[in-house]
Chain A
Amino acid sequence: MDKAIMINIEKCLACKSCEIACAVAHSKSGVLEEAVEELPRPQRMVTVEAAGEFGVPLQCRHCEAAPCIEICPTGAIQRFDEQAPVVVDADLCIGCKLCMLICPFGVLQIGPEGRAIIKCDMCLERMGKGQEPACVEACPTGALKLISLKEATKSKRREASKQLVKEVEQKKSKSEEK
């Protein structure tokens, strides 16, 4: 999958806008004012976790070799093709919770509805309409970004190259000072 939600923890304010936007996007009404009244409560699939001095807005990483797909005994967790996110077919989920056990990021949760597992679906519906995932759109600082992995590695390479040049120049000027 080429698309991924990149997290830049240095930019995260832990404002939890992403959590609210996610729950609203996955509510029945899709509107905040109505979503707060809905039962069962709309669930968020992204959580801002405290880690030391940082907040980490974490959602499913949609792993390439996803352990949850491997371990699911009924095939309820699947991806439709290589470019698709990992999704849960609630109708096949027997609620055995093995995926919760195996996920290294702990991003699968017990949903309130029949206790089928719920997880980030990378806002399939929104993406289909050409919109960004709700958490990305809601992030005020750009800590969450929808990126293309190819582009991201390219810009990372550029950054690294710049850094290298900088260091070389610093060393040069230091040795010149001496």
Chain B
Amino acid sequence: MRKIVIIGGSAAGMMAAIAAAEQDPDAEVTVVTRDRLPYRRPAIPALIAGYITGPAGAKIFSPETLGRYNIELICPAEVTNIEPKSKVISILSNGKEEKLAYDAAVIATGGHPLIPEIPGADKKGVCTFTTYEAAAEIVETAKTASCAVVVGAGFIALEIAEALMYKGLDVYFNVRSRILRKLVEPEVSEFLIHKFEQQGLRMLTGEAISEVGGKSSVEYVVHKGNKIATNLVVMGTGVKPNVALAEKCSIELGPSGAVKLDNRMQTSVVGIYAVGDCAESPDLGTGRFVYSPVGSIGASAGKIAGRNTAGANQETAGFLRAQADQILGMQIFSIGHSTTSAKEVSLKVNVHDLSPPESTGKERITKPFEVAKLLTDDNDKIVGAQLVAKKYGAQFAWQLYGAVLARENREEFLERFNSPRMKVAEALVHAIKSTVVVESVGEDKALALADTASQENTN
């Protein structure tokens, strides 16, 4: 019987476990995780807002689900070493050392919060959220605080800011460069900052906070020389890969500092795979390996690694990063590359403004979306798209996703995007051309007919 051990119980690790169990139902699949309970990171805002309470509320991959796949969970436990030669994993569980034999293993140890080097950043009241315990501290502190400073640039940092605002706190948002820098173009960042400020979020831009002050716990922060009184500072400044275990057993790291992989998600050591925030992942299109700590990519990579541990031989060409969120009344979609992420894979991109499709006149919705960008490579193929809308953004986003995934030509895409009617008209012309109508009335008349028909069709 095949023995598979997964180290880490978040999205990537759990998906590896489930995929392995599905691939080989006879395999003995074990998940070793440090967290008290597998925890759903996007649940933090709901925890802060008070919609859910305790670790049970944020749970994911419950024992029942794992039981369905016959997955054993060892938790809380720390993996202390892997010996690739003898194929043994040492774990420390409740102070006792144990040894687990394995045929294949997956390292999904995730990331550590990346805390900027600011004087005083170790004070009580400076919180992160990569584990449930850390997130619980935010929830506790927010109960008594009246003001909070969220430092970061990403979606989760913004979601936390929104949740704290919902709790009635005065929220400052500190970003060194600009919000969602990796995901959207500068213009889109500007637009969002403006909108968020209108909603009451106080932006501290231009530079990072220079000091966290107070006796033992936070009392104030300093930004551009100004003191801002606060008892809570949330560091949403990103993650760095947790590769301590991988380094211990001499697994090679990539230039980003995360575990280096092949297209089967296998590390430099045969039989050991790595996925999630501790590892690199291939970018779709260029195939270059980058550090992209995104939940959906982790889960997709986890599935591939899991199957391969259980005897499959699956390769991936790469993953398409796509993210969506709704923050302070704005729907934000970011698909594929932005100029920032394109630089990482040395991809030259051109940015194009995307104007909303023409309104059909009768519709009251004058502005289907607020701002959108298309990114193309030198051959005018679409490699990225960003969209911000107040409502109904999804109706455009799914088309953009399809275009990025298929690397569609920009002009061809725009033709379709700007007028859904075009497709109908084309189909009709095609149908008409193949009949006697064209012969009898001529092509011009047939085209006119098709146009009227398509208009009637859409009306």
- Is B395 part of the contact surface with A, judged by Cβ < 8 Å? yes
- Is B193 part of the contact surface with A, judged by Cβ < 8 Å? no
By the criterion CB–CB under 8 Å, are A113 and B46 in contact?
yes
Complex alpha-carbon distance, A43 and B308, angstroms: 40
- Is A51 part of the contact surface with B, judged by Cβ < 8 Å? yes
By the criterion CB–CB under 8 Å, are B335 and A101 in contact?
yes
Q: Which residues of B contact A112 (CB under 8 A)?
A: 46, 49, 51
By the criterion CB–CB under 8 Å, are A100 and B324 in contact?
yes
Number of A-B contacts (CB under 8 A): 117
Q: Which residues of B contact A98 (CB under 8 A)?
A: 296, 322, 324
- Is A139 part of the contact surface with B, judged by Cβ < 8 Å? no
Shortest distance from the beta carbon of A12 to any chain B beta carbon, whole Å: 16
Q: Which residues of B contact A89 (CB under 8 A)?
A: 65
By the criterion CB–CB under 8 Å, are B52 and A105 in contact?
no
* Of B52, B64, B364, the contact of A114 (CB 8 Å cutoff): B52
Q: Which residues of A contact B333 (CB under 8 A)?
A: 101
By the criterion CB–CB under 8 Å, are B52 and A101 in contact?
no
Complex alpha-carbon distance, A167 and B161, angstroms: 62
- Is A164 part of the contact surface with B, judged by Cβ < 8 Å? no
Complex interface residues of chain B between 301 and 347 (CB less than 8 A to chain A): 303, 322-326, 333, 335
In the complex, the chain A residue whose C-beta lies closest to that of B325 is A97
- Is B354 part of the contact surface with A, judged by Cβ < 8 Å? no
Q: Tell whether A101 pairs with B40 under 8 Å between CB atoms, given A39-B51, A91-B65, A115-B46.
A: no
Q: Which residues of B contact A113 (CB under 8 A)?
A: 46, 51-52, 57
Complex alpha-carbon distance, A16 and B11, angstroms: 38
* Of A74, A100, A114, the contact of B57 (CB 8 Å cutoff): A114
- Is B77 part of the contact surface with A, judged by Cβ < 8 Å? no
Complex alpha-carbon distance, A73 and B300, angstroms: 5
By the criterion CB–CB under 8 Å, are B395 and A104 in contact?
yes
- Is B139 part of the contact surface with A, judged by Cβ < 8 Å? no
Q: Tell whether A101 pairs with B65 under 8 Å between CB atoms, given A74-B15, A94-B299, A96-B299.
A: no
Shortest distance from the beta carbon of A77 to any chain B beta carbon, whole Å: 13
How many residues of chain B have a CB within 8 Å of chain A? 46
Q: Which residues of A contact B15 (CB under 8 A)?
A: 73-74
- Is B289 part of the contact surface with A, judged by Cβ < 8 Å? no
- Is B8 part of the contact surface with A, judged by Cβ < 8 Å? no
By the criterion CB–CB under 8 Å, are B395 and A92 in contact?
no
Complex alpha-carbon distance, A114 and B43, angstroms: 4
* Of B58, B365, B394, the contact of A104 (CB 8 Å cutoff): B394
Complex alpha-carbon distance, A73 and B77, angstroms: 27
Q: Tell whether A110 pairs with B326 under 8 Å between CB atoms, given A40-B51, A98-B296, A101-B397.
A: yes
Q: Which residues of B contact A94 (CB under 8 A)?
A: 11, 40-42, 60, 295-296, 299
Q: Tell whether A101 pairs with B398 under 8 Å between CB atoms, given A95-B41, A116-B40.
A: yes
Q: A89-B65, A113-B51 are in contact. List 18 more A-B contacts (CB 8 A).
A: A39-B51, A40-B46, A52-B363, A52-B364, A74-B15, A94-B42, A94-B299, A95-B43, A100-B394, A101-B322, A102-B394, A102-B397, A104-B398, A112-B46, A113-B52, A113-B57, A114-B43, A114-B46
Q: List 25 A-B contacts (CB under 8 A).
A: A52-B362, A52-B363, A53-B362, A73-B295, A74-B11, A75-B18, A89-B65, A92-B61, A94-B42, A94-B296, A95-B40, A95-B295, A96-B42, A97-B323, A97-B324, A101-B333, A101-B398, A102-B398, A104-B394, A104-B398, A110-B326, A112-B51, A113-B57, A114-B58, A115-B40
What is the interface of chain B, defined by CB distance below 8 A to chain A?
11, 15, 18, 40-43, 45-46, 49-52, 57-62, 64-65, 294-297, 299-300, 303, 322-326, 333, 335, 362-365, 392-395, 397-398, 401
